[in-house]
Amino acid sequence: MNTAAMNGFPDTFVWGAATAAYQIEGATTEDGRGPSIWDTFARVPGAIVDGSNGDVADDHYHRYAADIALLAGLGFTAYRFSIAWSRVLPTGGDEVNQAGLDFYRRIAETCHAHGITPYATLYHWDLPQPLEDVGGWLVRETAERFRDYAVTTVDALADVIRHWTTLNEPWCSSLLGYGAGVHAPGKQLGTESLHAVHHLLLGHGLAVQAVRERHPELSLGITVNLYSVRPGSGSALDAEAVRRVDGLQNRLFLDPLLLATYPADVLTDTGTTDWFAERADDLATIATPLDFLGVNYYSRHTVAGPADGVFADPTQPSSTPGSERVQYVDTGAPKTDMGWEVHPDGLVDVIELVHERAPELPVLVTENGAAYVDVVEADGSVHDPDRRQYFEGHVEACREAIRRGLPLQGYFAWSLMDNYEWAFGYTKRFGIVHVDYETQIRTVKDSGRWFAELLG
Ligand code: IFM
């Protein structure tokens, strides 16, 4: 360990890198895996910018052992990956695919052989297609199916995986998938997409209750993607824009999970007050106590209200139902290849959002990273100074969070390696390891070497 660089971080701090099943595994039809909504959506003409899919991706299904060895070689001590529901339960129903469970056991055992702690996520957006065919996250039954899948999977793997998160970024699964329609299953339903929010959170709560009862020794959490949200000016309209964006992005998830309440203003803005009132009894389940909260942080939003004060535009499919006309202000801060502004200090802001609601709850940064265009030099090296600087700034923000007394206990870089960036296909690279998709050759980027120096 580089002691000087590690000043301010406790010895117990978890250092990891993260991936997700559909983005890296490939082998989508092997060993009994069933189809997921991403297999379907990736084949919709025009849905993915480069027309690609995850059929091969990083071929991690066959190369996981070398990939985990690479992770260990960089000095990381934790690996966050997700489990493909349709590898374990190919139809989403009761039929269990032992080969799927065996694959994740091999991953966990390989981690242990390298001194790496596995952190498994049960749902990183890849719902079995048969469950979408009967309503997906718009129906309550899917929450119950998720609980059953969680129990089956954790029962099978609890001896080798101690740390579990239920959902990754339910904001994306609901509002991008059922609101804007830019993610699977590609539905554009306006405010009805909030029904998916509720069923995802209910599924999380049911899963935590059932798993905790059977395995009280495990550490259980959920990962949400949070944004620091600031006003473009001191005007009342911009303050209103902040309230709305913070509401949909942050409070709609943090409040039910940590305070057992939905933000009334968001339900009013979206006209969903009555629908949620009928389900108020579910809040106690949703707020089942957690062992940690995972926070994914990438960027900050600076927002302004529309001059005419009309925030909603129901004619537009959007991930911000009721607030489609909020303006996103360019502050001039540097941007990544996703167009996302770089604001490391926002990471401290979002950890504060959790801490305000649950002062004792440990926080893990379960994702943080940046896409940039990479060039493989003739000598095979990949110099990525912007990504390296991005990581340096955000690791520094973690140190600041700890200095302020916030209960931050770990950090996972997104991502271990370049991968399938959903609707952007293979056009965006987030890895600290470069992947040549033709040859599957992995090359550690300078940002990966920076982590190796930090952790070495
Ligand atoms: O690639 C995604 C990941 O699947 C979820 N969080 C954000 C990343 C970058 O967009």
Residue 5 — pLDDT band, cuts 50, 70, 90? confident
3 within a domain of the structure (yes/no): no
Task: Output the pTM of the full model.
Answer: 0.98
Residue 3 — pLDDT band, cuts 50, 70, 90? confident
pLDDT of residue 2: 76
Task: Say whether pLDDT at 273 is over 70.
Answer: yes
CATH assignment of the domain containing 424: 3.20.20.80
Dump pLDDT digits (tens) for 324-344: 999 999 999 999 999 999 999
Tell me the residue ranges of DSSP E strands in 263-396.
Answer: 292-296, 300-304, 327-328, 363-367
234 within a domain of the structure (yes/no): yes
Q: Which domain holds residue 129?
A: 14-455
Give the span between the Cα atoms of 244 and 241, in whole angstroms: 5
Mean pLDDT in residue range 384-402: 98
Mean pLDDT in residue range 231-238: 98
Dist. CA 421 → ligand 1 center (Å):
7
pLDDT of residue 6: 85
7 within a domain of the structure (yes/no): no
- What share of the chain has pLDDT > 70, as a percent? 100
- What share of the chain has pLDDT > 90, as a percent? 98
99 within a domain of the structure (yes/no): yes
Dump pLDDT digits (tens) for 120-159: 999 999 999 999 999 999 999 999 999 999 999 999 999 9
Residue 202 — pLDDT band, cuts 50, 70, 90? very high
Angle at CA 353, nearest 5°, toward 347 and 357?
150
Total domain count for the chain?
1
Ligand 1, pocket-test mutation among 80, 223, 430, most atoms within 8 A of CB? 430
Task: Say whether pLDDT at 404 is over 90.
Answer: yes
Ligand 1, pocket-test mutation among 421, 428, 429, most atoms within 8 A of CB? 421
Mean pLDDT in residue range 314-327: 95
Q: Which of 104, 1, 118 has its CA nearest to residue 60?
A: 104
Task: Say whether pLDDT at 4 is over 80.
Answer: no
Q: Which of 5, 17, 3, 112 has its CA nearest to residue 411?
A: 17
Structure tokens at 322: 């009721």
Ligand 1, residues at Cβ distance < 6 Å: 20, 23, 169, 296, 367, 414, 421, 430
In the three-class reduction of DSSP (H, G, I as helix; E, B as strand; rest coil), residue 121 is classed as strand
Dist. CA 167 → ligand 1 center (Å):
13
pLDDT of residue 1: 65
Mean pLDDT in residue range 7-13: 95
179 within a domain of the structure (yes/no): yes
434 within a domain of the structure (yes/no): yes
9 within a domain of the structure (yes/no): no
φ, ψ (nearest 5 deg) of residue 87: -80, -30
Q: Whose CA is nearest to atom 10 of ligand 1?
A: 421
Mean pLDDT of the chain: 98
For the annotated catalytic residues, the residue numbers are 169, 367
Give the span between the Cα atoms of 45 and 276, in whole angstroms: 35
6 within a domain of the structure (yes/no): no
DSSP for 130-180, written as a single string: HHHHTTGGGSTHHHHHHHHHHHHHHHHHTTT--EEEEEE-HHIIIIIIIII
Residues 6 or more apart from 224 whose CB is under 8 A from it?
A: 169, 170, 171, 250, 253, 254, 257, 293, 294, 295, 296
Dump pLDDT digits (tens) for 248-263: 999 999 999 999 999 9
